[in-house]
Amino acid sequence: MLDSPINRNEIIKVFPGLKNDKFFKIEDSSPNYNCIAWAAHVTDCWWDKLPHGNRPSIRFDGVKVDWPFDVDFEFSTRVLIEIFTQLSFVICEDGEYEDGFKKVVIYEKDAEATHMARQLTNSTNKGIWTSKLGGWFRITHESPLTIEGNAYGVATIFMKKSMS
Amino acid sequence: MPFIIDLPPVDYQNDNTKIEHVVVNGEKNIPSVDFDVFKIDRDIFEDVYFQEKFESLVSAWKGNTVFQSSISKIIEDDNFVEMLKMNKKALLPLIINEIEREPSILVWALNIITGQSVSTKQRYTIEDVCKRWVKLYREQKINFI
């Protein structure tokens, strides 16, 4: 079972803040996409650059090789902001739910981008957050804060996009 | 009501151990040795060694990187790099068996080892490419560089 106590405990070991998160739920275990793709509603490939030095001699299967748009070839907060700006997001103050907007957040650890999460806007899950944990599980969580810690560092940049 | 079994004490008689010395009278009496048996034993030992080393490295790699979204961080993990250094002939079937059991991004190790990709113009998912790699391996269509 996907949302089993065993799986939940495995995740809580990495993200202890989820222990008391009443919206923590495991939704998917597909290896097909990563957090950045999921923040952009993509579920059939990984969004990443290829490691320097290996490009283009090794092409990884199941990966969207180049960044989605004509942005710099690096996995950084600056570039993630640029990608999501091209997807019509703008930087905003925080992760509070705002009617008519969808929000994403970028995490940083040791000044490096590590993760992205997205706020849900449908009627049943309005305001809670969803994260794809690398090639591992996809989860929901109450706020960006509950997955902060050693793995992803802290939520630093919030962006929003009008749904109208 | 519990059912208790009382076993009789074991009667060890170490002093009764008998040691036999075989006296060989000339080479003709030396029993023949089937060296193939040793070879099979060695092959089994190597298989078990590679299997255990592989499982240990993959487990440690997953522990370190399972939540990572950066491919660089995932494939530059020490355990992943160490795994890629294993004997490729032994490593290939181990990876194939693992991605057949559970499709995963471990498939990228095959891209690195073989220098090949099974993706075509059509975009495949990780699960799709795992199935394709397994099929190609079973059909003996995978070549090393």
Pairwise CA distance, residues B131 & A68, whole Å: 26
Strands (E), chain A: 25-28, 46-47, 63-64, 90-92, 101-109, 112-119, 129-132, 138-141, 154-162
| B38-45: average pLDDT | 71
Domain-wise residue ranges, chain A: 5-162
CB contact under 8 A, A60 and B68: no
Other Cβ atoms within 10 Å of A129 Cβ, number: 25
| DSSP output for chain B | ------PPPP---GGG----PPPP-SGGGSPP--HHHHHHHHHHHHHHHHHHHHHHHHHHHHHHHTT---HHHHHTSHHHHHHHTS-HHHHHHHHHHHHHHS--GGGHHHHHHHS-----SSPPPHHHHHHHHHHHHHTT-----
B99 touches A: beta carbon within 8 Å: no
Alpha carbon of B51: minimum distance to chain A alpha carbons (Å): 23
Question: Per-residue pLDDT tens for A29-73?
Answer: 999 999 999 999 999 888 887 655 554 456 788 776 555 666 777
Question: Per-residue pLDDT tens for B105-114?
Answer: 999 999 999 8
Question: Per-residue pLDDT tens for B74-98?
Answer: 999 999 999 999 998 899 999 999 9
Check if the interface score ipTM surpasses 0.95. Answer: no
**How many Å is the maximal CA-CA distance in chain A?**
46
Q: Is residue B71 a contact partner of residue B100, using CB atoms and an 8 Å limit?
A: no
A14 touches B: beta carbon within 8 Å: yes
CB contact under 8 A, B127 and A32: yes
For B130, name the nearest residue in chain A, comparing CA atoms only. Answer: A61
| Half-sphere exposure at residue A116, Cβ-oriented, CA atoms within 13 angstroms | 28
